[in-house]
Amino acid sequence: MTIRDDHALAGDLASEAGERLLDLRARQGFGDQRALKDAGDMMSHRYLMDALQRLRPSDSVLSEEATREERMDPRRLKADRVWIVDPLDGTREFSEEGRSDWAVHVALWERTGDEGALTAGAVALPAQGRTLTTAKPPTLAAPGERIRIAVSRTRPPEFVRKLAVLAGADLVPIGSAGAKIAAVLTGEVEAYVHAGGQYEWDSAAPVAVALAAGAHASRIDGTPLVYNQEDPSLPDILVCLPDLAPMLLAGIRDLHR
């Protein structure tokens, strides 16, 4: 792989990792789902770590599949450039035959003064045959007649059910966080709300693409999403079409009073 700008590199890495995961899925099959999950996580992690070490050797990396010691490396917190990756977002869906709602996340966080921000990112949806990137952000669709909110297939927060009633919205179960946020960007839903616990790698890349596309992305109390923290926990998130943000944030505030 030749040297690319950060936006193109994020897209290339996410897409290539996704192709390798598709090949693994085809070779290994679905007979042992646990083995397939573990193999997918490790293969994609090693590919991304090796590629970033080769192509961006002076940058730090925060990966879901890194060891605790690697995640807590103090050099990451002092670094000016940190890649935040989820080698396989949605291992459950990856291990289930026929499901396409899993993803690969590659994002770049850069320091600006004492602060920092996501500056590049890509979300590969390999089984859907597409990669969303900050190099060419998707064009947001207009809201539908009824709001559709993407939620977890297995553990949608109870308050989101109440929010849907309040907003006259329908809930749409989708697998991985990346697939949910991608659904906002491609017009399949208008919003994604989550408050059941996540980490930086679950949202960094899709949030980078969402912000580049002009979508709203924040914590559910409206405060900014902050990345490259010592504790990578980032427990809640709202991503939605920008015109819906005031109404959804107000509804969430009302439900938490």
**Binding-site sequence positions:** 64, 86, 88-89, 202
Token representation of residue 225? 């999403």
* Residues in binding site for Mg(2+): 64, 86, 88-89, 202
Bridge partners of 104, per DSSP, are 124
Token representation of residue 17? 């990792």
Tell me which long-range contacts 242-245 makes (C-beta under 8 A, separation of at least 24): 242/140, 242/214, 242/215, 242/216, 243/143, 244/143, 244/147, 244/190, 244/191, 244/216, 245/216, 245/218
**Cα(222)–Cα(251) distance, rounded to whole angstroms?**
12
Distance of CA 36 to the CA centre of its chain: 21
Closest CA to 137 of 125, 149, 120, 150: 120
Token representation of residue 66? 């890194």
**Cα(151)–Cα(206) distance, rounded to whole angstroms?**
15
Q: Specify whether the CB–CB gap between 12 and 1 falls below 8 A.
A: yes
Dihedral of alpha carbons 239, 243, 249, 252, sign: negative
Token representation of residue 58? 């002076």
Distance of CA 58 to the CA centre of its chain: 24
In the three-class reduction of DSSP (H, G, I as helix; E, B as strand; rest coil), residue 156 is classed as coil
